[in-house]
A and B are shown apart, each in its own frame.
Chain A
Amino acid sequence: MQHTDSARLKGIFDTVDLGLIVLDEHSRVLDWNGWMESATGKTAGEAFQRQLNEIFDGAVTPRLATAIADAITAGTSSLLSHYLHEAVFPLKSRSGRPLIHNVTVRPLGGLPLRCLVQISDVTNAVERDRVLRERQNARYDAVVDFAPDAILTLDANGVIMLANPAATEAFGYTGKELIELPITKLLDAQPAWDAAWDKLAAGGDMMRPVELVARKKDGTGSFVEISAASWHSEARIFVTAILRDVNERHRAEQALRHLNQTLERRVAERTADRDRMWRLSSDVMLVVQHDGTINASNPAWRDLLGEAEELPHIVWLGDSVVPEDQAKLRAILEELRTSRAHCQFELRHRAHDGAVRWISWSAVAADELLQAVGRDVTAERGAEEALRAAEEALRQSQKMEAIGQLTGGIAHDFNNLLTGILGSLELLETRLAQNRHGDLDRYIGGAKRSATRAAALTHRLLAFSRRQTLDPKPTDMNRLIADMEDLVRRTAGPDIEIWTNLEPGLHSTLVDPNQLENALLNLCINARDAMPDGGRLTITTVNEHLDEKAAREQDIPPGQYVKLGVSDTGSGMTDDVIERAFDPFFTTKPLGEGTGLGLSMVYGFARQSAGQARILSEIGHGTSVQLYLPRHNASITITEEDPELTEIHGTQNGETVLVVDDEPSIRMLVMEVLEDLGCRAAEAHDGASGLTQLQGKGQIDMLVTDVGLPGGINGRQLADAAMQLRPKLKVLFITGYAESTVIGHLKPGMHVLTKPFSMEALADKIQGVLRD
């Protein structure tokens, strides 16, 4: 039985998958099992009674010898793990692979103690662990070793356990220096981290990364953003932290912050600048809605219109605009609503004190609103007005100068005419004394013709000298020249031949006839002065079509023109003189004989009338001045009939006409004409008595009155009063003055006839007025 047990135990001893060695008290091998034979290649017989050191040729670790000695002498058990001992024994597997093994050394039995050495093969387990760990580490290393960010693993005390290569680079420590280094060496004490760490060390997580200043080995600071998470290994807590270098980002943020701060400052400065401009500008600035409602106005607007500072009473732009400009304002607002373009315009605004201010605006639509900047140009407009008045005065004085030049010839002519009249009257007187009635008609006719011509002459002079504003109207130039011809002829004198070459069917032109007369007379006087020894003055008119090229040469738009030419056969001008002839105050005449304004006025007239003036001249062959004036397409309305051609027609209605004149002979003449017309006539010698009759109940259809009347009421005042009393009353002023200021603005139903006039003209006028 014992034998059997012993045999069985021996069987187990040799079969068990453990290395078993039993040593005696001298550390000599007593037993050596099958596993050991296989792992060492040494049989139990070879090992028997030998010490392990001998068996393995000294390749046994000293630790094993100590463990064996302690087991035998003191009864201790020892563990020799493969982790700390690469190979306790030089063992091989059957396939020759190094065999990884753990060794335990145990005391065995009673005294004297023996020792049991057990060797367990952990190769498979270790290999498996190694493969698993390597696979895990490969992933881990790929992430950690090549991560651009510093990765640190800390234990629960914040001591660095692991640092990746990026960490050594980031902080300037070697890998070994970092291990066991407290993280606090790297991070300055910072509340954000301390708070995060408290959570992490307790096994919690960080909610969000924190940005901290890290301290490198050399002491320099570095901005890092830390994200960290805790993890567990058995009962132990570790924290792995990723420290991202955010210096670049930090710099960028700093730069951005700086930029933002300075931007705010710059914006503030600019806003302040604009605000200053808004407040201090002397130009008016408005922000206006499309309907003209004022959203905002700068102080200049209130200053200009004299508004109260606080509550501007003008909320709609139109409220400030004078009535005459309202339509213009509406048109401009409409244009700005549809256009994005800048719009420049002028408006007259009524200031708080009633004064009119001209404002030159520049406006543009932007963001559903109009931005408008305006400049007060009232002073400029005033200056323009003054200039216009000065020009007007100048034109008038120019005219008077021309009249002055005419006076000599006119006086002479007038004497001739008077002589003719006086002569005829004397002859008439003589014939009557002689009772010779046969040829009386001839003398009466002669006197009448002379008187008519004298009247025409004075009429022309008065008309010419009349102060009139520019008033372009369709004008028949040929007719105007014909009317002027007599005056021109007398002005030129007997040594100068006057030729006219007027185109039949000449187009009408839109000019101020008075200005045209003035220009024509000026040109004729110049022509006369250019021919002191006599010569030929030719006035021509012709229709001209200017094509593109010709128009460009003349510097006027292409189209239809009427050309007026005044040519002489005089001394001619040098090119130098031609060049300056239109300059104001340029004259070739001796001092005192001319102002030098004639031709410049002619030029100005032509340009104002959208035409052109040109001088063609050759020394010794004469000069031709040509005016191009644009064609006017409307037909000419004849405003004045030739009095000598009119027939007298009676009226059938028997109207009653009141004649008021302080000159009895004129009253008598007018009354006789009225009677010839079949009208009833009443008369009064001054305004007061005339008014008395008008206040009466008698029928009065028409008032014929002189303007200048004695008795405190002049003709105009009488007419105004009369029309108050009798709204349908017709009025005809007969006056020796052409001054419109004396009569003033004519109301409807008021007419004027200038003295002197022929009886036929008077009759015709009266008929016309009554028929009106």
Chain B
Amino acid sequence: MTLQLAFALNTIELDALTEVANIGASRAASSLRSLAGSEVVLSVPSAEILTYDRAAQLMGEGEAGNLVAVHQYFNGEISGAALLIFPETKSLEFVREITGGDLPLEEVIALEHEALAETGNIILNGCLATIANMRHKTLNISLPEVIHGSGPEIFSRAAGSVFEITVLFRCFNFFVRRRAIEGYIAMLLDLSSLHSLRALIQGLILGAPAEPSS
């Protein structure tokens, strides 16, 4: 189910978008480092553009059980929902790492929700702020919310069917003592927002700060 979009990004544009995401991720990583008190590396190796349905379906594949997601809305020149998604089974591991790795299980379970929200908030803010800053424009970005469920459930609760397009970033969270916790960063956009994003990327490729469109 290949996406045939008039606005589909070419390889160079995708690479540029990936680069933007990595800039945002490294911002987030520095915040996480100060939070966790140990080395944290976030990397975003790839990005692709998918339809909403395809992306929602892809989320559940290859993963047993539910997913957990932190999502925030953003509003402005580009509007949509941003989600940090990873397997529910990894979420405690994730939180344990953020909190220094020594908390007992009960404590980890108790603060899981807030810690996930804040951690996701940091990562998503990193990416969204990077995009906003490239345009010297602000987006109105909401506070984070944590949701559990299957891929389609999460997508539906985060955005309904308002957004047709998903920009999906593969995302690795490296903590010092552990193997990577693998997840996704998804941006659910409508077509006009995709268009704006593309323009933003093209501007970045041309080496000049993109001018605000008319």
- The answer to whether A41 has its CB under 8 Å from any CB of chain B is no
Given contacts A83-B114, A176-B102, A235-B148, 10 further A-B contacts (CB under 8 A): A75-B138, A75-B140, A76-B141, A77-B142, A78-B121, A79-B121, A80-B118, A81-B115, A104-B143, A157-B64
Listed A/B pairs (25) with beta-carbon separation below 8 Å: A63-B34, A63-B122, A70-B125, A73-B132, A74-B128, A74-B133, A75-B74, A75-B76, A75-B138, A76-B125, A76-B132, A77-B144, A79-B144, A81-B118, A83-B111, A83-B118, A84-B111, A84-B114, A84-B115, A102-B114, A106-B143, A161-B92, A161-B108, A176-B101, A234-B148
CB of A297, distance to nearest CB on chain B (Å):
76
Q: A73-130: which residues lie under 8 A (CB-CB) from chain B?
A: 73-85, 102, 104, 106-107, 111, 113, 129
Q: B22-77: which residues lie under 8 A (CB-CB) from chain A?
A: 27, 31, 34-35, 64-66, 72, 74, 76
Q: Report yes or no: A79 in contact with B34, Cβ–Cβ below 8 A.
A: no
- The answer to whether A398 has its CB under 8 Å from any CB of chain B is no
Chain B: which residue is nearest A237 at the CB level? B65
Q: Report yes or no: B138 in contact with A107, Cβ–Cβ below 8 A.
A: yes
CB of A175, distance to nearest CB on chain B (Å):
10
Q: Report yes or no: B129 in contact with A79, Cβ–Cβ below 8 A.
A: no
CB of B114, distance to nearest CB on chain A (Å):
4
Residues of A within 8 A of B132 (CB): 73-76
| Selected contact of B129 from candidates A76, A136, A161, CB within 8 Å | A76
- The answer to whether B89 has its CB under 8 Å from any CB of chain A is yes
Q: B98-142: which residues lie under 8 A (CB-CB) from chain A?
A: 98-99, 101-102, 104-111, 114-115, 117-119, 121-122, 125, 128-130, 132-133, 138-142
What are the nearest 9 A-B pairs in CB distance? A75-B138, A74-B129, A74-B132, A83-B111, A81-B114, A162-B105, A76-B125, A76-B141, A83-B114
Q: A134-180: which residues lie under 8 A (CB-CB) from chain B?
A: 136-137, 140, 153, 155-157, 161-162, 176, 180
Q: Report yes or no: A61 in contact with B140, Cβ–Cβ below 8 A.
A: no
- The answer to whether A449 has its CB under 8 Å from any CB of chain B is no
Q: Report yes or no: A236 in contact with B93, Cβ–Cβ below 8 A.
A: no
Q: Report yes or no: A133 in contact with B31, Cβ–Cβ below 8 A.
A: no
- The answer to whether A306 has its CB under 8 Å from any CB of chain B is no
- The answer to whether A62 has its CB under 8 Å from any CB of chain B is yes
Whether A75 contacts B106 in the complex (CB less than 8 A), given A81-B118, A83-B115, comes out as no
- The answer to whether B164 has its CB under 8 Å from any CB of chain A is no
- The answer to whether A692 has its CB under 8 Å from any CB of chain B is no
Q: In the bound complex, how far is the Cα of B102 from the Cα of A597, in angstroms?
A: 116
Residues of A within 8 A of B101 (CB): 176
- The answer to whether B88 has its CB under 8 Å from any CB of chain A is yes
Q: In the bound complex, how far is the Cα of B102 from the Cα of A616, in angstroms?
A: 116
Q: In the bound complex, how far is the Cα of B212 from the Cα of A340, in angstroms?
A: 121
Q: Report yes or no: B140 in contact with A107, Cβ–Cβ below 8 A.
A: yes
| Selected contact of B143 from candidates A70, A79, A83, CB within 8 Å | A79
CB of B204, distance to nearest CB on chain A (Å):
16
CB of B72, distance to nearest CB on chain A (Å):
7
Whether A79 contacts B118 in the complex (CB less than 8 A), given A74-B132, A104-B143, comes out as yes
Q: In the bound complex, how far is the Cα of B89 from the Cα of A66, in angstroms?
A: 30
Residues of A within 8 A of B139 (CB): 74-76
Q: Report yes or no: B89 in contact with A155, Cβ–Cβ below 8 A.
A: yes
| Selected contact of B105 from candidates A66, A153, A156, CB within 8 Å | A153
Chain B: which residue is nearest A70 at the CB level? B129
Residues of B within 8 A of A80 (CB): 118
Q: Report yes or no: A77 in contact with B65, Cβ–Cβ below 8 A.
A: no
Q: Give the number of chain B interface residues (Cβ < 8 Å).
A: 48
Q: In the bound complex, how far is the Cα of B34 from the Cα of A63, in angstroms?
A: 8
Q: In the bound complex, how far is the Cα of B106 from the Cα of A161, in angstroms?
A: 10
One digit per residue, 1 when the CB lies within 8 angstroms of any chain B CB and 0 when it does not, for chain A 327-348 equals: 0000000000000000000000
Residues of B within 8 A of A84 (CB): 35, 98-99, 111, 114-115, 118-119
Among A76, A137, A161, A236, find the residue whose CB has the most chain B CB atoms closer than 10 A.
A76
| Selected contact of A73 from candidates B105, B117, B129, B143, CB within 8 Å | B129
Residues of B within 8 A of A6 (CB): none
CB of B38, distance to nearest CB on chain A (Å):
14
Q: In the bound complex, how far is the Cα of B107 from the Cα of A140, in angstroms?
A: 13
Q: Report yes or no: B114 in contact with A76, Cβ–Cβ below 8 A.
A: no
- The answer to whether A434 has its CB under 8 Å from any CB of chain B is no
Q: In the bound complex, how far is the Cα of B98 from the Cα of A82, in angstroms?
A: 13
Q: Report yes or no: A129 in contact with B110, Cβ–Cβ below 8 A.
A: yes
Q: Report yes or no: A133 in contact with B138, Cβ–Cβ below 8 A.
A: no
- The answer to whether A435 has its CB under 8 Å from any CB of chain B is no
Residues of B within 8 A of A70 (CB): 125, 129
Residues of B within 8 A of A235 (CB): 66, 88, 148
Q: In the bound complex, how far is the Cα of B129 from the Cα of A275, in angstroms?
A: 97
Residues of B within 8 A of A156 (CB): 65, 89
Whether A73 contacts B133 in the complex (CB less than 8 A), given A61-B34, A83-B111, comes out as yes
Q: In the bound complex, how far is the Cα of B142 from the Cα of A75, in angstroms?
A: 9
Q: In the bound complex, how far is the Cα of B167 from the Cα of A270, in angstroms?
A: 85
Q: Report yes or no: B141 in contact with A74, Cβ–Cβ below 8 A.
A: yes
Residues of B within 8 A of A665 (CB): none
Q: In the bound complex, how far is the Cα of B23 from the Cα of A74, in angstroms?
A: 14
Q: Report yes or no: B118 in contact with A77, Cβ–Cβ below 8 A.
A: no
Chain A: which residue is nearest B144 at the CB level? A79
Q: Report yes or no: A76 in contact with B128, Cβ–Cβ below 8 A.
A: yes
Residues of A within 8 A of B35 (CB): 63, 84-85
Chain B: which residue is nearest A235 at the CB level? B148
CB of A80, distance to nearest CB on chain B (Å):
7
Chain B: which residue is nearest A80 at the CB level? B118
Whether A75 contacts B141 in the complex (CB less than 8 A), given A62-B34, A63-B34, A81-B118, comes out as yes
Residues of A within 8 A of B102 (CB): 176
| Selected contact of A180 from candidates B93, B106, B119, B125, CB within 8 Å | B93
Q: In the bound complex, how far is the Cα of B35 from the Cα of A682, in angstroms?
A: 160
Residues of A within 8 A of B115 (CB): 81, 83-84
Residues of A within 8 A of B130 (CB): 74
Q: A359-398: which residues lie under 8 A (CB-CB) from chain B?
A: none
Q: Report yes or no: A77 in contact with B106, Cβ–Cβ below 8 A.
A: no
- The answer to whether A233 has its CB under 8 Å from any CB of chain B is yes
One digit per residue, 1 when the CB lies within 8 angstroms of any chain B CB and 0 when it does not, for chain A 29-54 equals: 00000000000000000000000000
Residues of B within 8 A of A233 (CB): 109
